[in-house]
Amino acid sequence: MKGVLFDLDGVIADTSVYHFQAWRKLIKDHFNRDLPDELEKQTKGVSRKDSLTAILNYLDIKVSDADFQEMTDEKNKVFRELLASLTPQNILPGISDLISQFKQHDVKLSLASASLNGPYILEKLQLNSVFDAIADPSKVAAGKPAPDIFLAAASAINVDPKDCVGIEDSIAGIKAINKAGALSVGVGAKNELSEAKLLFPDTSALNYDQIESAWEEFK
Ligand code: BG6
Ligand code: MG
């Protein structure tokens, strides 16, 4: 195992709840409609535009291109306001230890987040210096569940995807890792992340030795 491709929201920090909170506010303000909890998993890991498309499809609402653009900008404004108070205390349990283990074993760290706010969030968490690379989601052709961002993250650390593990909390992300040819490590519920090759119920359960031996079997 030479590289680890990290998702960010919901794996490194619990910012995935902020995303959905921001969508809920936007939809309430614009249409006075409430979003059901189950829509959250459809927007997890998915780009900002693809998330709004899924939400509007669910609500059966059509908007002009200009309004669509304005709505994604507005959602991002709300999300950035929620991020303003982010500190290293928002790093999820077990993640700092896991990062240290990867470092000790010379495994390179690359960020494979769909979020255009990735660099900003890592900065707020004081984690940017521990990452060897950050893949830029604005430069990839297709978002998760396509493998592109994971391929870009592996290439940014010069490691073959099959020598990498990817860590994800979203259905779209697990599919993307599998398609990229890396070992998929899921964080979350079994009924949701059934395609993950290795699954932990939450970040505090993530274990370097288990990840390493799963990769040895997978390679
Ligand atoms: C992912 C989140 O990490 O980033 C999604 O799970 C979000 O919910 C996506 O839509 C894009 O984020 P941003 O910050 O570019 O709007
Ligand atoms: Mg995520």
Q: Which atom of ligand 1 is nearest to the CA of 48?
A: 10
State whether 113 and 208 are in the same domain: yes
How many independent structural domains does the chain possess? 2
Q: Which residues are catalytic?
A: 7, 9
Residue-wise pLDDT tens digits, 142-160:
999 999 999 999 999 999 9
* Strands annotated E in 81-209: 108-111, 133-134, 164-168, 183-187, 198-200
Residue-wise pLDDT tens digits, 43-71:
999 999 999 999 999 999 999 999 999 99
State whether 135 and 211 are in the same domain: yes
Q: Which atom of ligand 1 is nearest to the CA of 7?
A: 3
**What value of ipTM does the predicted structure carry?**
0.98
State whether 71 and 130 are in the same domain: no
The band of 96, judged by pLDDT with boundaries at 50, 70 and 90, is very high
State whether 79 and 99 are in the same domain: no
State whether 214 and 113 are in the same domain: yes
Share of the chain above pLDDT 70, in %: 100
Q: Which of 23, 24, 35, 46 to mutate to test the pocket of ligand 1 (most atoms within 8 A of CB)?
A: 46
Q: Which among 83, 112, 142 is the end of a domain?
A: 83
Judge contact between 169 and 186, C-beta under 8 A: yes
Ligand 1 centroid–CA 130 distance in Å is: 21
Residue 66 makes CB contacts below 8 A (sequence gap 6+) with none
State whether 111 and 69 are in the same domain: no
Give CA–CA dist 126/129, Å, rounded.
Answer: 8
Q: Which atom of ligand 1 is nearest to the CA of 16?
A: 6
State whether 97 and 64 are in the same domain: no
Residue 84 is predicted with a pLDDT of 95
- How much is the average pLDDT of 170-194? 98
**Pure H helices in 60-124:** 65-83, 95-104, 118-124
Give CA–CA dist 148/139, Å, rounded.
Answer: 9
State whether 121 and 204 are in the same domain: yes
- Bridge partners for 49 per DSSP: none
Q: What is the CATH number of the domain that holds 155?
A: 3.40.50.1000
Q: Which among 32, 53, 83 is the end of a domain?
A: 83
State whether 46 and 133 are in the same domain: no
State whether 110 and 187 are in the same domain: yes
Model confidence pTM above 0.95: yes
Residue 55, domain extent: 16-83
Ligand 2 centroid–CA 146 distance in Å is: 15
State whether 105 and 36 are in the same domain: no
